[in-house]
Structures are given as structure tokens and as C-alpha cells.
Amino acid sequence: MEKFTPRLFSPTQYAINTNERIGNTTVRAAIGRNHHYLFNYFFEPLLESDEYTNLLENIRAVTSNPELQGKLISTWEHEVYKCYEGIEGLDEEINILFDHVRHACLYLELAKAAEDNKDRDRAWAFTNEASLMINGISGASGAIFDKIDTANRTKQNRENGKGRIKNFFPVKQEAARLLEELKPKGGWLSVTSAASALEVPLGSFIDANRIGGIQSSNIQALLEKTWIPKDEFVNDAWQKSKRPKKEKSNS
């Protein structure tokens, strides 16, 4: 018999709290949250920290001049960042993603400039555009982290990378263990439900063990989009713990 846990809030109170939290978000808070995502899920684990600072300084110098913005964007097309040459194709993936990151940062700075000018509609328009891009950036960066991890588990590539992306294997071991330990009666209904259930305990494991190169707040997306469906180790535990498909009756 499954243990019943009473709700902390009633559905009505939950709706009220959620509406208030979202509805009272300011433009500046939304901009800050997006910058936090970009720094923690792209710049900090993949590039040098001064790349983030230099990019923002260059953008802030042109936010009031569309002509200079165009010239800055043109320079981005010719900038190539090389840091993982030992892992085939990875630098290309990072540079493609970096182009999206640059534009997201540009939109956030344009949003900030619009907010300073009290043009609230324009500020929210730029912020929303950046948010949509950052959602895709978060998922793509997770796939890159996984590719680096796979490469780091082979002898010829262990010395590649920058040393800040740690081996994720202990986290994958814990994810596999949790998939089987927390399996509901009858098995996991979907990848999404499993990833959601593992988010908190696996995030706590990451924080408690101070595992670098991976953020506990990003683990659900990483589980759902990459590890459970594609990683050989985690997927094996998923296959053992998912709800089996019902066989069609021949009658």
C-alpha cells in the first residue's frame, strides 16, 4: 500500500500562490534570472569566466546604436572558440550554441535599456525572446555536458576538456539506483514522471557530494532529455523499472 502524503496547500491556494509569484515578477528580476541560467549552464562550465564579462561589456556599448549592433553581430560570425579540440565535433556544437547565447545576452541588455526608458512593453518583448532562446540553450548544453562525460570516460580523451567538467558517472550510478529504489508499484509510467521524481533526491546527491560541472537545478531536464532515454547505464535501469506495455489480446 502506497503511503499518502497530504498536500501542503489546497489546489486553490496553490493556484493563488503560483499566480502571485509569476504575476509579480519584475522585468529586472526576469532579466537577472535569465543571466543566472546563461552563466551557470553555459559560461561557467564550458568557457572562461571573462568571456561572459567581455561579451556583456561589448553589448552594452552598442545597445543605443543599431548600426553598431549590426557590426558587433557581424564580428560574432567570424569568432571561433576552441577549447575541446580533442573531442570530435564538440567545438562546432559549442560555437553554434554560443551564437544563440550571444543573441540572448543582446536581447537581455536591450530589455534592460527599454526598462530604464520605462518602455515596459518593449522590455518584456525582449525578455520573452531571450527566455525562449535560453530554454533551448539549457537543453542543448545538457547534451554537450553528456558528450564531454562520455569522452572523459575513455583513455585517449580523459585529459581533454578544461578540468571543470567532472566525471558524471557517480551521478548516473545514483540515478540508476534511484530509478529502481523509487519505482512506483507497477513501474514508472513515463520518462517525465521518473525524471520529476528523481529531481530532488538526485539534486541533493549532487549538492552533498559537491559534484562540479553539473547543476542540481538542471538535473530534471538532463534526465528527461538525455540520460534516461539515451545513456546506456541509466537507460538500462529505466528498462528494468518502467511499466511494461500491456500485450494486445488475440481474442
> What is the length of the chain?
251
Q: Which three cell numbers stand for residue 42?
A: 553555459
What's 118's DSSP letter?
T
Q: How confident is the model at residue 153 (pLDDT cuts 50, 70, 90)?
A: low
The chain-wide mean pLDDT, for the chain, equals 83
pLDDT tens string 48-79? 768 899 999 999 999 999 999 999 999 998 88
Region 132-142: what's the mean pLDDT? 87
Q: What is the pTM of this model?
A: 0.56
CA dihedral 37, 40, 43, 48 (to 10 degrees): 150
Burial class (CB in 10 A: 0-12, 13-18, 19+), 55: buried
pLDDT tens string 80-122? 877 776 677 888 888 899 999 999 999 999 999 999 999 999 9
Tell me the C-alpha distance between 97 and 138, whole Å: 10
Tell me the C-alpha distance between 87 and 91, whole Å: 8
- The three-class DSSP label of residue 242 is strand
